[in-house]
Each structure stands twice: as structure tokens, then as C-alpha cells.
Amino acid sequence: CTVPAVGVPSTRGGGWILGLWHITLELTQPPEPLLLLCPSGTVTGYLDDCTCDVETIDAFNNYKLFPRLNELLQSDYFRYYKVNLQKPCPFWEDNSHCGMRDCAVQPCPSDEVPDGIRAGSYKYSEEANSLAEECEEAKRLGAVDDSLSKETRQAVLQWAQHDDSSDSFCEADDIHSPDAEYVDLLLNPERYTGYKGPDAWKIWNSIYEENCFKPQNVKRPLASGRGESFIYLTKWVSRVCVEKRAFYRLISGLHASINIHLSARYLLQDSWSEKKWGPNITEFQQRFDEVLTNGEGPRRLKNLYFLYLIELRALSKVLPFFERPGFQLYTGNESQDAEMKHLLLEILHLAKSFPLHFDENSFFAGNKKEAAKLKEEFRLHFKNISKIMDCVGCFKCRLWGKLQTQGLGTALKILFSENLIEKIPESGPSYGFQLTRQEIVALFNAFGRVSTSVKELENFRNLLQNMR
């Protein structure tokens, strides 16, 4: 870790060092988890509960995976997400919708959404809709395109009818509701909207206070002036079982990722002639600088990297589902659909090649009865968090909050369905494990947000170094 002339903790038994320095560690045995803190809350070194280090993730993400993933998310299949932003908050009366224009979401007119996506399945066409009377099984969905093989049509019907309520980690929107609308994610990017203050804090308060496995006397680690509470929570997190610790770290990592997006795409200029968005270094430091956050900022970033590893592991595990010939990313543009499936599989193979994956086998590995109880509690806690997203007053924040929680929930569903995924046949329907298009779009866009956060950290590091 090369550090400019600022105070940094010494690695030799305490104290602080001033000046420009460089460390080389020669290890003769497996290292204990090591974390070096660099300026403004950036981190390097090994991560807790993992064999991986920050540098390996940075190099893999920023120069291999991120460019390909970013290209995939520009495509029609992944840019349109159907969401219900009108659902009432299920936990409290909420009339505090954000009145600022940057909070607004512009839905897509139906004629702008590709036919294949609007049809709600892998491959439907306008001509096929005329076959509805002949295809009684698919009445609710519209008719399956008869150009597909019998085997693939069967897979489409099974996919559409699958009820995954028992293995879902999220409270999914009813996409058939008249209030559900398609949103073009590229035209409604996640960025700073001005939504903050008591209403925004209430959301994160509810998530941390009610949904993390922690004792009531441990407050959320967010509010200023709570250094003692943070130290208490840090000690508590280090003592609990790996599953409860992982749950907290996932939520903290998601929170950190969202804060990086808001800092990286901040409204820097708002005049009658133009709006200018870009990185706000001050905002970033207030959220992640070690000194300004009483030591909390770097831990938030560690949890971001932990979230990255969890979602990356899910992508590596779900490869057999997408490799099947019967699976198609159908939008109606045949050449683009084939190209995007090829790119999708390239990304999944790349994810599988990552050398230091998180070992999810440590989850729920104890007494079977206790493990099953803890897993169900884990699922219900996360499902409750997905419901809280309907209480977010800023519609753009609600959109991206719902998408990212559904994406993380889908990743967890994949990790806990490994045995079912291994049994997926190479051809024909996959009865045991299914993903809806909503889950697929959320999974890759959510990981795209985390991948973007890791990339933005590199940008902030460079900006901070150039300022010194």
C-alpha cells in the first residue's frame, strides 16, 4: 500500500507514521485477516471471512469483468425493468414523497418496449399471439411461438407457471398489476437526487434496527456521534455466527454501494442552461473517510467487497441454467439476442474463473434442524427488507432500491439452490430451479451496480491522489 503524506496506522504494533511509505510483507504461513487503511477510507489487503484480498478483486473487476458487464447492461433485454412504484408502504403511513424533479422516474410508453419483452417470456411474437385459442395452457401469458421446438415450448410454459414463493428472498412486484410499468434503466440512472434527511434516515434505520440479527441495545452504525455504539456493534458482529455476520455485512455493503453511486454521480451544477453530474470528493469523504466516520468508513468498504464476492459467486453457480440451448434472451431482434447470450455466457464463464471465490459451504453447515431454522429466518429478514423499499419517498431511489434488493435476493436464492441447479438437464424444462425475467434483469443489474462501485473506488483514489 503506497500512501501519500498523511497519518496512517503503523503495521508494527501500533502508532502512526507520517510521510510517503511502501510496505512489502513476506509471509511464511497463511496470513491472519489483514486490513491496511489508506487515505480517505479506501482499503487494501485481506477481507474477513474470505481468502480473497481487495487488490485481486480490483484487478479482476476493473480490467476484465466491468467492461463486458457494462456492455451487456446496455442491451434491450437488460435495460427494461418492470416495477410498481405505486405500492403503499406496508409499515407506516407515508405521504412524504420527494417533490424534487430529480426524484421522478419516467416510465416507458408501451410501444417503446420490444415486443419480446412485453410478451413476458423467452420468445413470443405478434404472430404467435393469434394462436392463443389453440394453446390453452398458455392462456394467461399469450401463445408460445410455434417456431420453437416442442421441448423449448414446454420449458417456457413451466418457467412462466413456476411459483417460487417458498424459495424467494424478496417480495416481488406483481408485474401483471395495472400499476406496474416498464422503466428504461439507462434513461433513469441511479445518482444523487437530493433525497435525504429524516425521511431517508428512517428507511435505513428500519433496515438496520429491525432486520439485522443484533441485540436491541446495539444501535445502527450510521448516525454521527455514536462512536461507542459503533465499537459495540463491531465487537458484536465479530462474535456472532458466520451467517448472521454475513447478513449484516451484505446490508452494509449494499448501503455502501448506493452511497458510492450517489457520490460518483452528484449534481455539481444546476443552472438554467445545463446540469452537470460528476464525482463529489467531499461527499465521498464524509461517507467513507476513516477520520470523519470514526473508523467506520473503511469497514463499510470492506462490506462492499464482501457483497461483490457473494454476488460474483452466485453468477458462477448459475451458469448451467443459462447454458441450456432452450434458454433465450428474447427481445425480437434475433441477431442481437444471439450476440447478447454469447456475451452473457462469456461473463458467467469469466465469473467462474475468478481464483478466490467465497466459500458459501460455511453457511448453515451445523445442526440440520438449527441450520434450517436459521436459513428460514435469514430469508424472511431479507424479504422484509425488500418490503421496506416500498417506503422510500424518492421514486428514483425506490426504483434502484427495489432492483438491487431483488438482485441480491436472487443471488441468495441461487446460492441456496446449488443442488437443484446441479440437477438441471442440458435440454428440456428445468422444473426444480427457475428464474423469471424480472429476477434475471435484477440479478445482472444489481451486480452491475456493485461492479460499478468497485470501479468508482479506483476513480476516487486517483482523484484524491491528484489533490495531494
Q: What is the pLDDT of residues 336-356, one digit of tens each?
A: 999 999 999 999 999 999 988
* Mean confidence (pLDDT) of the chain: 76
- Find out whether 400 is annotated in a ligand binding site: no
Whether residue 410 is predicted with pLDDT greater than 90 in this model: the reply is yes
Nearest to 292 by CA among 303, 281, 302, 308: 281
- Does 287 carry a binding-site annotation? yes
**How much is the average pLDDT of 357-384?**
74
3-state SS, one letter per residue, for the chain? CCECCCCEECCCCCCEECCCECCCCCCCCCCCCCEEECHHHCEEEECCCCCCEHHHHHHHHHHHHHHHHHHHHCCHHHHEEEECCCCCCCCCCCCCCCCCHHHCCCECCHHHCCHHHHCCCCCCCHHHHCCHHHCHHHCCCCCCCCCCCHHHHHHHHHHHHCCCCCCCCCCCCCCCCCCCEEEECCCCCCCCCCCCCHHHHHHHHHHHHHHCCCCCCCCCCCCCCCHHHHHHHHHHHHHCCHHHHHHHHHHHHHHHHHHHHHHHCEEEEECCCCEEEECCHHHHHHHHCCCCCCCHHHHHHHHHHHHHHHHHHHHHHCHHHHHCCCCCCCCCCHHHHHHHHHHHHHHHHHHHCCCCCCCHHHCCCCCHHHHHHHHHHHHHHHHHHHHHHHHCCCHHHHHHHHHHHHHHHHHHHHHCCHHHHHCCCCCCCCCCCCCCHHHHHHHHHHHHHHHHHHHHHHHHHHHHHHHC
Amino acid identity at 10: S
Query: Do the annotations mark residue 255 as ligand-binding?
Result: yes
Whether 26 shows a pLDDT value over 50: the answer reads no
- What would the pLDDT profile of 376-391 be if each residue is shown by its tens digit? 877 888 888 888 999 9
pLDDT confidence band for 212 (50 / 70 / 90): low
394 catalytic? Reply is yes
CA–CA separation, 133 and 131 (whole Å): 6
Residue 210: the pLDDT is: 63
Is there a binding annotation on residue 79?
Answer: no
Is 212 among the catalytic positions?
Answer: no
Question: What's residue 303's pLDDT?
Answer: 93
Can you tell me the mean pLDDT for 48-62? 85
The active-site residue out of 50, 170, 391, 397 is 397
**What is the per-residue pLDDT across 248-291, written as a single tens digit (0 to 9) for each?**
889 999 999 999 999 999 988 887 778 889 999 999 999 999 99
Residue 159 to residue 368: CA distance in whole angstroms: 30
Find the mean pLDDT for residues 298-321. Answer: 93
In terms of Cα–Cα distance, which of 363, 432, 358 is closest to 167?
A: 432
Contact present, 39 and 457 (Cβ < 8 Å): no
Whole-number pLDDT of residue 160: 42
pLDDT at 63: 95
The answer, yes or no, to whether residue 209 has pLDDT greater than 80, is no
pLDDT bracket for residue 428 (50, 70, 90):
low
35-49, 126-140, 213-227, 430-444, range with greatest mean pLDDT: 430-444
Q: Which residue has the higher pLDDT, 402 or 48?
A: 402
Residue 338 — φ and ψ, nearest 5°? -65, -40
Most confident region among 22-26, 82-86, 116-120, 134-138 by mean pLDDT: 82-86
Residue 220 assigned ligand-binding role: no
- The pTM of this model reads 0.79
Indicate the pLDDT class of residue 362, thresholds 50, 70 and 90: low
224-251 average pLDDT score: 61
User: Is 204 labeled as ligand-binding?
Assistant: yes
In the chain, % of residues over pLDDT 90: 34
For position 358, what pLDDT does the model report?
77
CA nearest neighbour of 97 among 108, 111, 86: 86
